[in-house]
Structure 1
């Protein structure tokens, strides 16, 4: 089962003993419930940094919270990937930390481009439900070629981001792709499409994991993996919309 999401890769269920009883096994409904809970935690945390920003109107007022959420979320994500059994604890913590990060980030974008956040949220969930419906009805199938294509594209995007970060330390910027020109908007649109297609791979992976009778705690891990993709998709949509708004 190939997926471009590093949290839900082909080896996620390798070495896991099947659950002894159905009540102890991973289920689709259980994963949905836990995904919803993580989303609630994320939104609750986001209101903290969002509120702090608009109380003061200064990005500096939420800088430490936003940065701490980003770094802390990354560290907790790594721990969760390598210690799946801890996911009932680490997944909610990840959602909380990422909520702090997204709340601050979203507030900064909202202050510059009023209304952009609600648009990004609507497009993110619209994409999620549209792709879920397409997957459930068989309009989109996660074939091996489909998975390979999405995996390769996601890897390429990751390399571009890493290269950009490393070059930034030397004062070098990759021309065009991060600007609001045609190339920059085209790149952002491509990234949004690939991030969205990762949801299809996640649906397929979770469905197969539940069918394989994975342990109950894997519901938390699967929900965590889905959150990783949704957060990425939201950020990329926010970037795309901000580029479009800046051209007006």
Structure 2
């Protein structure tokens, strides 16, 4: 339910912020927003691209993403093994709420502190471990199916983006981010109602509406990868500071979690007796 990640829009916005130059460097071309410009003689690169070690690179973003995912998987494994079944529900809800708050803070404040990002990944891992154990207890083998499906969707979207078969145009990005935000609001409202009524409601009861809703969520979550890939690429092209790579990694983690949960739910609907 944390799919509508405001930081994705903010990352691109940060790439458009004005930069400043320092005197004394020779005139050299630099890239910004997909175009190449000639820096006036006597001035250096924009401050955000002066030192190669201090700017975002794709390799750095990949390392950060793998690190966060690794922390989440490790926390999920520990939760799966350590937490007893009677306590899974309480752990599930507590981790979900803490993760939601942390995710919103990271998104809106553009937090790039690795400690905070790893804390979020660990909390999400605890949440995923509890959810996965609960589902696996009821439907044997469902977690492996959901993991394989999630990774498959991620790789397919990465290949489609790389081949430019799916293009992240400005209109595309606005529509997808808007859809993700709308779905997040609907899910939060549905969750709040379920807490008071004790009923999952039509969006999560496994019926026809629930199946359609999960399919819509899966499609939007998959398209959000394209948005994130484009914004990471824009950030690299604009010479954003290296710390912004954490936000790109955070965005991918959020989308992977959302996609996995929706696929897990969808599979469970078809395994009901």
TM-score of the two chains, using structure 2 as the length reference: 0.80
Tell me the equivalent position of 1:59. 86
Alignment of 1:11-50 (within 5 A): 11-13=13-15, 15=17, 18-50=48-80
Whole-Å Cα distance in 1 between the matches of residues 101 and 195 of structure 2? 22
Helix, strand or coil: the match of 1:225? Answer: helix
State the structure with more CA Rg: 2
Is the aligned partner of 1:5 residue 2:22? no
For residues 156 and 172 of structure 1, do their structure 2 counterparts lie closer, same or farther at Cα, with a shift above 3 Å needed? farther
Residues 183-204 of structure 1: per-residue CA shift (max 9 Å, x gap): 2211111111111111111111
Residues 94-151 of structure 1: per-residue CA shift (max 9 Å, x gap): 1111101100110000001111101111111111111001100111111223223212
Residue 220 of structure 1: CA displacement?
1.3
Q: How many residues align?
A: 241
Whole-Å Cα distance in 1 between the matches of residues 49 and 86 of structure 2? 48
Tell me the equivalent position of 1:159. 185
For residues 174 and 43 of structure 1, do their structure 2 counterparts lie closer, same or farther at Cα, with a shift above 3 Å needed? closer
Tell me the equivalent position of 1:69. 95
Residue 87 of structure 1: CA displacement?
2.8
Alignment of 1:138-177 (within 5 A): 138-168=164-194, 171=197, 176-177=202-203
Tell me the equivalent position of 2:262. 236
Whole-Å Cα distance in 2 between the matches of residues 94 and 13 of structure 1? 24
Tell me the equivalent position of 1:223. 249
Whole-Å Cα distance in 2 between the matches of residues 64 and 16 of structure 1? 47
Tell me the equivalent position of 1:120. 146
Q: Which residue of the other structure, out of 215, 235, 239, is the alignment partner of 1:213?
A: 239
More strand as a share of residues: 2
More helix as a share of residues: 1
For residues 16 and 119 of structure 1, do their structure 2 counterparts lie closer, same or farther at Cα, with a shift above 3 Å needed? farther
Are the counterparts in 2 of residues 5 and 202 from structure 1 also a CA contact under 8 Å?
Answer: no
For residues 95 and 169 of structure 1, do their structure 2 counterparts lie closer, same or farther at Cα, with a shift above 3 Å needed? closer
Tell me the equivalent position of 1:89. 115
Q: 5+ residue gaps in structure 1? A: none
Are the counterparts in 1 of residues 154 and 225 from structure 2 also a CA contact under 8 Å?
Answer: yes
RMSD: 2.3
Whole-Å Cα distance in 1 between the matches of residues 242 and 6 of structure 2? 20
Whole-Å Cα distance in 1 between the matches of residues 184 and 263 of structure 2? 16
TM-score of the two chains, using structure 1 as the length reference: 0.87
